[in-house]
A and B are shown apart, each in its own frame.
Chain A
């Protein structure tokens, strides 16, 4: 009996150690970054680094937000009808179409960057405006928006749409009052995933950004490349990290409780 107890206890200890080691491995870099971002001259403690973020780096963050919002809007406007058509209508070669639409997921960022420079520069001359970058981001994150919507629509029984129509709702009313609210978790998941990618993307930005427009991740990259790793750069990186973290947290607070319980299923 004591042997069983002991081996159990050993297993218990082992799994605890395992989890803690994993946590340390994953979290340490972020803690190091956080610590470094507060480092002042001669190893003192400095909040000024963060004042720097909202002063000198403010423009970079604003650009990042603008690009993110515009990209998410375009993604959503294209992905909503696309996912509906993919799921609800009998299309020929649905699987191939879906694979083609999600292609950017499997293509490295650098490849997308070169491809976009080629097409936009020589075809549309978009690299001089913000729209070149926004469209590039939209192309890259489209699969992340589309896939959760397709999954949500597939899970949504068609009977809700039929019930709405039989009650007199037009197609538009059915979309707005029934379909969109019920695929809310899919929409927000797509928005969250796309936001985190767009907000933090530097590789594609590097290729297609118009002159004079520097997003926050690009600024971090440029600074590290030219000036080495400064505490102020670390502060910017930490701020970006926090923004992404808050987005994820908000998602699980709002949708985690309301939808993940499955109350929207029949």
Chain B
């Protein structure tokens, strides 16, 4: 149980910057996830917290203790790897006992702790088995038990479920969360899987190219992305490049007009933008409603287009619509998805929420 604090942690590999000026404060007992595409530096960051990699600069603290240059064995961490990495020559019980036995604990104490851990991960009768005799999911549970046996200050997870099949991933991610809640450990979890991150995190750190893009709760990063990367990486989004043409209305409920790709879109609410600002406008596919001819009232924006393609995905149907030469994606659920399968030709789309993000300097209208 520790607060983990990373201060300007940076890692260079020659000319390559793996992690740049990483600042993160993880309070005691929080479950935080580092989310990003492969090569974004999330695993490097985690391995620096573990001590497996030394940072080029910056500091890492567990509570008040500076652990930046401490080797892993003295940090008292629990690291769960992508593969279970159970020692194949030791039985399940000996694997769980490993951390305690290298610290020279007494036999009776180790035995008690091993039994307790086996019970915790629901593998009570498996102590005598060898790792090769367990399934992938059971092996990863033993790996969890092995890590928890030493009562670590921090739990670190490096994509622990990526080697397992989908159903197992779904059940095991909640087991991980349960165990973290039961043991009240601070946990840092690395994944590239959004649904995993959304299911188990208290907060999510979205990373890209070695930098933090945004830190926030699930709703923060989904509903209020702060950078183009987050808007495009989290979920799906229709993106348009535009310019603010007008801002009016009262202070806390501005009506903002954006001219983007030949369309004029309206967004409402507080805003930091002024007329003439370059922006990126994002519309979530699931927020777009396919309108019948008579409908239309209550929607801030209504656009017309021609259906390109309908992709039936089971729970939803994806509609690809050509709007003034630009492809819009709309996700339709419920009964409407079934009636849309056969539909062709013109269609009207209505939506209210348009997320505006300042355009990066290299993007212009």
Partner-B contacts on A (CB < 8 A): 157, 159-160, 162-170, 173, 177-178, 181-182, 184, 263-266
Contact = CB atoms under 8 A, between A and B. Distances in A.
Interface string B145-167: 01100100000000000000000
A263 B91 CA distance: 13
A169 B77 CA distance: 12
A157 B79 CA distance: 16
B85 A266 contact: yes
Given A181-B89, A182-B89, A263-B88, A159 B81 contact: yes
Contacts of A264: 88-89
28 contacts: A157-B85, A159-B82, A159-B83, A159-B85, A162-B52, A162-B72, A162-B85, A164-B102, A165-B73, A166-B50, A166-B79, A166-B147, A167-B102, A167-B150, A168-B102, A168-B103, A169-B98, A169-B102, A173-B102, A177-B87, A177-B98, A177-B102, A178-B87, A181-B89, A182-B88, A184-B89, A263-B132, A265-B88
A7 B338 CA distance: 64
Taking residues whose C-beta sits less than 8 angstroms from the other chain, chain B's interface range is: 20 to 34
Interface string B214-249: 000000000000000000000000000000000000
A173 B81 CA distance: 20
Nearest to B84: A266
B98 A167 contact: yes
Interface of B: 50, 52, 71-74, 76-79, 81-85, 87-89, 98-99, 102-103, 130, 132, 146-147, 150
B87 A160 contact: yes
Contacts of B84: 266
Contacts of A167: 73, 98-99, 102, 146-147, 150
B88 A266 contact: yes
Contacts of A160: 85, 87
B284 to A, nearest CB: 39
Given A160-B85, A182-B89, A166 B98 contact: no
A164 B98 contact: yes
Contacts of A165: 52, 71-73
Contacts of B82: 159
A262 to B, nearest CB: 9
A185 to B, nearest CB: 11
Contacts of B88: 182, 263-266
A163 B81 contact: yes
Contacts of B98: 164, 167, 169, 177
Contacts of A177: 87, 98, 102
Contacts of A159: 81-83, 85
A163 B77 CA distance: 11
A257 to B, nearest CB: 14
Contact of A163 (B79, B130, B132): B79
A131 to B, nearest CB: 35
A5 B170 CA distance: 56
A181 B82 CA distance: 23
Given A166-B52, A168-B103, 15 more contacts: A162-B72, A163-B87, A164-B98, A166-B50, A166-B147, A167-B146, A167-B150, A168-B76, A168-B99, A168-B150, A173-B102, A177-B98, A182-B88, A182-B89, A266-B84
B89 A170 contact: no
A166 B102 contact: no
A162 B73 contact: no
A128 to B, nearest CB: 45
Contacts of A166: 50, 52, 72-73, 77-79, 147
A177 B71 CA distance: 18
B78 to A, nearest CB: 7
A90 to B, nearest CB: 12
A181 B87 CA distance: 10
A94 to B, nearest CB: 18
